[in-house]
Structure 1
Amino acid sequence: MPSRFSLPPADESLDDAASLKRSPLRRSTPAPMAAPVPTAPITLQPRKGRGTTWAIAHRFSRDEREPVDDGWGALDQAVQAEELAPGTQVIFEHVKSILTGNESPDIPFDLSINPYRGCEHGCIYCFARPTHSYLNLSPGLDFETRIIAKVNAAERLRETLSRPGYTPAQLNIGSATDAYQPVERKLGITRAIIEVLCEASHPFSVITKSAGIERDLDLIAPMAGAGLAAAYVSLTTLEPALARILEPRAASPQRRLKTIQSLSEAGVPVGVSVSPVIPFLNEPELERILEAAAQAGAVSAFSIPLRLPWEVNPLFQDWLQTHFPDRAARVMARVREMRGGRDNDARFGTRLRGEGAWAELLRQRFTLAVRKLGLNNTRTVLDFGEFRPPARAGALHQLSLF
């Protein structure tokens, strides 16, 4: 029986793979006797372990489809099929490059590595969801159930770092996906990447909301001791009930606090990301989250207000109406107040900060809490002077013969 982690045939592209397991709700079934009668939009029930039930069409889709009642029960069958909890499918990809340069002045690192595309954690607010559109996959359900694994990431990283002209720069792992999402336990792509960085003494940081990072403390801790590594844990809420629907397959809030403690006790400089701040949902917890993280051992913190780029906007608003219909209008009104009257603001300089009186109040609350807790008193500066190019793949093969 073939493994679900087996490589696709050589002539199968990601676009071909995207045609598999399509939802019945994405098709219209023609009626045999008369034209289909459009129905009201279907509201699917939340699924345990999934951030969204909506396989929303991406912005590059050429066709627009909607469910219809053809008089033969096709609509009921489609709804029943859609309510079945979909499994996670992992698609292997061989990439040509693994380092991505950063052109945003808002972000404090120069390079990023994302071992996966998509993320099974299913965080409804994830700003990276729209990247699945480039794969002809839905930023909704596909983003958290169709995971692309870059199986040759460590090999490509080794090739890049060993080039004569390469100069080390601020590098972050997991900026657009969680490098320690569940599939990492089986594939170990992130660990292989860190092994190459350790061999090259290349400084790096990692951001995650998974306890899986503790597995690699044998690599990260010595690097941190040499001034070459730092970690950040995303902690959005302390309420387990909210976490279960906001970030359904991520580690629980208490488990993430334990991870902060484990990293700190191992000598790894660890910061906390209280992001995104969602008005009237996790926003009232801001100070409590920072206090809990500081008590666990965090030494730094940052926070970003909710962002709703591209398809994230309708997905989040659908989620909001499903789980918090009583305050959905208030939440969106406050979001727009921080985004110049729009649902989203993509401008450099304001997109990660927000603007207006409410955004300023959030900044003041954050600043006061951080000062009171002694966070951000010292800046973690990584050492770039120890970098040495790793052995090329061919050289490693030669050495393995002896």
Structure 2
Amino acid sequence: MLKRRSPSGAEVRLFNTSTLNFSTPMPDTPYFKGRGAQINTPNPYHKLVYDSAPIPAEEWEESLQLATEYIPVHPKTILNKVESEDVGMGFSLNPYQGCEHGCIYCYARNTHTYWGYSAGVDFEQKILVKKDVPRLLTEAIKKPAWKAVPIMLAGNTDCYQPAEREFKITRQILEVLWKYRHPVGMITKNSLVLRDLDLLKQLASENLVHVCLSITTLDEGLRQVLEPRTASVKSRFKTLKTLADNNIPVMAMLAPIIPGLNDHELLPMAERAAEMGAGAIGYQIVRLNGDIGPIFEDWIHKALPDRAERVLNRIRDCHGGQLNDSRPGLRMSGDGKIADIIAQQYQLAKKLYFKDKKLPAYNLELHEQYKNGQLSLF
């Protein structure tokens, strides 16, 4: 990392990585290292909105480098039925709302406004903690009418984000699911998942779990600015290998693919994932719905100014000229020439590295026998 001072006195950081070589200095507006979002966008549900005036350079660090705040909340229900035809899951469960990982592209940012916060910096700093989840989950899956279907941890924010080290809610959830032999899928980009290897091995022994590692890039320099508080590239692949070596069904989600930033890495990422033991891969093209659009635009003009417009225009090319996309069947994969090339690369990756691989089917029958907490005698 190289640093210099601008004429205004603000520190300007120069990034230089071996793969991307993006060494053009950022604008005089300071780039806040360690967080993804650089702004708080107005909450559409507030009558009073955030001041949009720039924060003076001398106040920038004081204003934005705040400690993460954990806020307890008490929802009455915690299983969310997934209605989207583009998402292959029945129910999702999120022990946390907001995510300290700070992934700049995260679609979950928009949900933070429902709780009264901004989708920008607030999303990374104000983490809502649902301590009642294990109890509520137990009550839900013990109901006579409940039929086992894989529950996804977590469809919104990462269940192994840094808050999990302190609160251990995800581990308690796995304990409940193992007790009642209920199937679960997990997606994360944090190596903390290995803390629960004992429970994952138990669940895998009965075909009750799939783990998905989200992998965005092979370039650690890009990872640090794109998703600043996630596990490193090296750690993520090591985690994938450890899971596979312990016979836990694991796939790699190569997402989001951001044309102009990481689309050239799709095949190398797939090859590396196969070498580490992944049993399947998936991909999605980035889409910047709602507040994510202005947050991402602000970020890329500060973090990667030399390629900002090129990347934004390529994203638009994949979504009918827009940064956002809500078209069923197209919003995840996009359309147009660039999206077609990415889709072709994905199909080639599957053919080259995952031709005869697939994850085992979930066991959906066992839960009924354990619904009362123990194997039925009948």
**TM class by smaller structure:** 0.7 to 0.9
- Do the aligned partners of 1:233 and 1:273 also contact (CA within 8 Å) in 2? yes
User: Structure 2 unaligned runs (5+)?
Assistant: 1-26
SS at match of 2:216: coil
1:245 aligns with one of 190, 212, 225: 225
User: How many Å separate the matches in 2 of 1:272 and 1:94?
Assistant: 33
The one of 45, 48, 67 aligned to 1:60: 45
- Within 5 A, what are the aligned runs for 1:211-250? 211-250=191-230
Aligned pair 1:115/2:100, yes or no?
no
> Is 1:87 matched with 2:72?
no
Displacement, 1:225?
Answer: 1.9
Task: Give, in whole Å, the separation in 1 of the partners of 2:338 and 2:57.
Answer: 45
Q: Is residue 48 of structure 1 aligned with residue 33 of structure 2?
A: yes
**Partner amino acid, structure 1, of 2:63:** E
Mapped partners of 2:53, 2:251: distance in 1: 50
Q: Distance in 1 between matches of 2:252 and 2:39?
A: 30
2:160: which partner in 1?
A: 180
**Do the aligned residues in 2 keep the contact of 1:153 with 1:189 (CA within 8 Å)?**
yes
Q: 1:79–1:252: structure 2 CA closer, same or farther, 3 Å change rule?
A: closer
Distance 1:154 1:184, change over 3 A: same
Gap runs ≥5 in structure 1: 1-41, 396-402
In the TM superposition, residue 342 of structure 1 has moved relative to its aligned partner by 1.3
Runs in 1 of length 4+ with deviation above 6 angstroms?
none
Q: What is the match of residue 286 of structure 1?
A: 266
Match of 1:26 in 2: none
**1:157 maps onto 2:131 in alignment:** no
AA in 2 matched with 1:82: S
Counterpart position of 1:145: 125
- The Cα shift of 1:60 comes to 2.1
Letter in 2 for 1:66: D
CA distance in 1, matches of 2:33, 2:307: 22
Instruction: Report the TM-score when normalising by structure 1.
Output: 0.82
Judged with a 3 Å threshold, the aligned counterparts in structure 2 of structure 1 residues 292 and 160 are, in CA distance, closer, same or farther, namely same
Q: What residue is the counterpart of 1:19 in the other structure?
A: none
Offset at 1:81?
A: 3.5
SS in 2 for 1:387: helix
- Asked if 1:318 is matched to 2:298, the reply is yes
Matched residues, number: 347
Alpha-carbon displacement from aligned partner over 1:362-388 (angstroms, at most 9, x marks no partner): 000111012101257324310101013
TM-fit CA distance, 1:145 = 0.6
Task: Note the C-alpha offset of 1:54.
Answer: 0.8
Q: C-alpha deviations, 1:89-120, integer Å up to 9, x for none?
A: 00111221111001001111100111100000
Aligned counterpart for 1:269 among listed residues 249, 261, 272: 249
Q: TM-score, normalised by structure 2?
A: 0.88
* Separation (CA, whole Å) in 2 of partners of 1:93 and 1:215: 25
- Cα distance in 1 for partners of 2:73, 2:116 equals 15
Number of the residue aligned with 2:336: 356
Which protein has the larger Cα radius of gyration, Structure 1 or Structure 2? 1
